[in-house]
Amino acid sequence: MKTSLSVWIRLNVLFLVCLVAVRLLFFFELHFRIEAGWEAFPTVMSGMMFDLILLCRVFVYGLIPFVLMHRFLPKAACGVFCGWLVLYTVVEALLAEYYCNLNQPLDQVILVYTPEELKETVSSSTALSMAQVFWFVLHLACATALVSLCGVVRKAKPFSYRVILPVLAVGLLVSVFVNYPRMIREEKHYATHDAFCLAVNQPSYSWFKIKEYREDLRKGTAEDYDKSVSEAAAAYQALHPENDYDHPEYPFYRKATDPDVLGPFFNQTSDGLPPNVVFIVVEGLGRRLTGVTSPTLSFTPFIDSLASAGLFWPNCFSTSERTFGVLPSVFASVPQGRLGFTATLSYLPKHHSLLRDLKRNGYTTSFFYGGDASFDRYGDFMEENQTDFLFVPNLTVQDSSQYVLLAKNNRWGLDDGPLFEGAVQHKRYDTLAKRPYADVYLTLTTHEPFLIEGIEPYEQRVVELLEQTDGISEKERENVLKYKNVYACYLYMDQCLKELFAYYASRPDFENTLFVITGDHRMAQAPHAIPIRKYNVPLVIYSPLVKQPKTMNAVVSHLDITPSMNAYLHANYPYQIDDHCHWLGTSFDTVAAFRNTRKLAFMLNNRDVVDYMSGDYYISNNTLAKFDENLSATVVKEEPLYHSLKEELDNFQVLSRFVVQFNRLEPPR
């Protein structure tokens, strides 16, 4: 017994050395590969707290199995531990690689997407390099060195019980009285989520996040949620007294009383028909492309010109961290549910939409997208909402004369130039086209891997802009040069958009057309120290019908587009809408000064909903902050306010999951 216990203690000392070594490797890989500064070193090493707790749990939970096995098969027992040591090191190496590519630990996101979608995402975001091989080999070398010491450990002289018993006591006390899963789930002891992610034990974080996600998915009835639906509905509706909710079984269902705030900004169409509407959702179009608070450079000069000549909301917000949320939010003003609105069921939850209203009021609707429309079910959503035409190219066709095959570079689909050319060609020869029409574009060029045909001239233009512009901060200059290919893609997209507008301007119905331009989310590659900024996208409504341009700094969101457009069309044209709706949003706030009257919940790529905005405050994980008109934030310590906002978010989440899972957005028509 004493021999087995002594060997087990010494083997766990090797595991401790392994924990220290892989943590050091983790920091240096971050330092050399993604340029993490030395100021991150104390944070990374403070995470030894998590490692030591994990060590105690491994020591205690593995004690009896090891002692029993060592009693009869000592070499095999040590061999199993060596296998565990190698496995742990390999997992750490892979998780470090994941962190270097996405700046966050691996979590349940691997269960959110299908295997095909994961393959497409990974192939478009990463490429095998010598740096990856180098760090992986270093991890294996570390594991090999430690395994070579296992033979020495097995033959060493046993410890006395004066050593063994205190070690057992410490391991047992830590394992029993420290709630390790709760520490990770609640992200305790760190002021920000980013600091926590740097410090946490990566395998533990991934394990507990995936485990919690799987347990959450097993919830099958409304009673499984933390609060009853009726209580959550009452609390949510009390926060929105401007709405008249009159159906207890459908918590978001209300009277459609959103006022027309857009009408005063537009002249009437020349023919009395409702205007054409062209929606352009630009991939990764955030308000601050270069990642600094007040950027000097712009890489979207044409979009800027439309903003200055139309209606512009610089403080618009998406509702999700990635593209999966944009179409349901913009065109149906719906909640995300547990996994995102389009990913929850094999069929889409029953809902209404702006697209359906446009269709029944005589609009011809079209959707133009250059990638795989089955990804995140973009095509399913548009078809469910009665879209007349879907332009989705077959990317498996070789040597097509219409577009360039991009699969060889692991791109998501067509560059914006070929996409817009295909759309224009379709519209020129569409014999069914008539006024009014609604076109929806979802672009791709400004998505990873940020490769376009003939990128060099655009990269040169990026450098020229840096040289020709005065007053650029050193931080902005560094960011631009670091992501030169990224900004080149934005210049290209902007030029393609200018050429698309030239086509619309050549049409005789251009004078009766509205253009709505926004981003699906903020560009992920540029650094963002403040979580709320990653949802900040511009919203531009441009039209020859605009009476006078105006910039409105009040906060609006994608959820407000459908109710605002419907109210405008209904109030000014023969355009019918229902007297009830399930819109989460409301009419745009058109105040010029900065203010926020919205309460918004945001969904991360892994489908966590931990970011919430209300008034001048937002919560992100366990942090409460107050933000200003520049979206600069100050962390505040007001526990009652934090818990109040957290309760608001929890109530919304209960309703969001309930109505999507059980089809309770609107009653049967």
The length of the chain in residues reads 669
pLDDT at site 338: 87
Q: Residues 406-410: contacts with CB within 8 Å, 24+ apart?
A: 409/449, 409/451, 410/123, 410/124, 410/127, 410/449
Query: How far apart are the C-alpha atoms of 599 and 585, rounded to whole Å?
Result: 9
Write out pLDDT tens, residues 252-300.
999 999 999 999 999 999 999 999 999 999 999 988 787 777 788 889 9
The DSSP symbol for 546 reads B
pLDDT at site 220: 58
pLDDT at site 7: 86
Locus of tokens 């002594």: 6
- Going from N- to C-terminal start, the domains of the chain cover 2-217, 229-269+277-661
Domain 229-269+277-661 in CATH 3.40.720.10: yes
Bridge partners of 614, per DSSP, are: 599, 617
Q: Among residues 527, 378, 391, 526, which one has the least CA distance to residue 448?
A: 526
Query: How far apart are the C-alpha atoms of 552 and 591, rounded to whole Å?
Result: 6
Chain centre distance of CA 177: 36
Give the other-Cβ count within 10 Å of 404's Cβ: 15
Q: What residues contact 297, with CB distance under 8 A and at least 6 apart?
A: 290, 465, 466, 469, 472, 476, 480
Confirm if 437 and 365 have CB atoms less than 8 A apart. Answer: yes
Single pTM value for the model = 0.86
Pairing relationship of beta strands 389-391 and 364-369 according to DSSP bridges: parallel
Q: Which residues of 500-509 are buried (b: 16+ CB within 10 A; e: fewer)?
A: bbeebeeeeb
Query: How far apart are the C-alpha atoms of 406 and 413, rounded to whole Å?
Result: 6
H or E stretch at 290: none
DSSP letter string, 455-502: -HHHHHHHHHHHHH-SS--HHHHHHHHHTHHHHHHHHHHHHHHHHHHH
Output the six-digit token pair for 314.
């610089």
Q: Which residues of 432-464 are buried (b: 16+ CB within 10 A; e: fewer)?
A: ebebbbbbbbbbbbbbbbbbbeebeebbebbee
Q: Which residues of 349-364 are buried (b: 16+ CB within 10 A; e: fewer)?
A: bebbbbbbbbbebebb
State which amino acid sits at residue 191: A
pLDDT at site 165: 86
For residue 507, give the 3-state DSSP assignment: coil
pLDDT at site 606: 85
The DSSP symbol for 315 reads E
| Weakly modelled stretches of the chain, pLDDT under 70 | 114-128, 219-227, 344-346, 394-412, 431-432, 524-530
Q: Among residues 615, 617, 603, which one has the least CA distance to residue 652?
A: 603
First-to-last CA distance in the chain? 73
pLDDT at site 487: 93
pLDDT at site 525: 52
pLDDT at site 522: 82
Output the six-digit token pair for 534.
């990653």
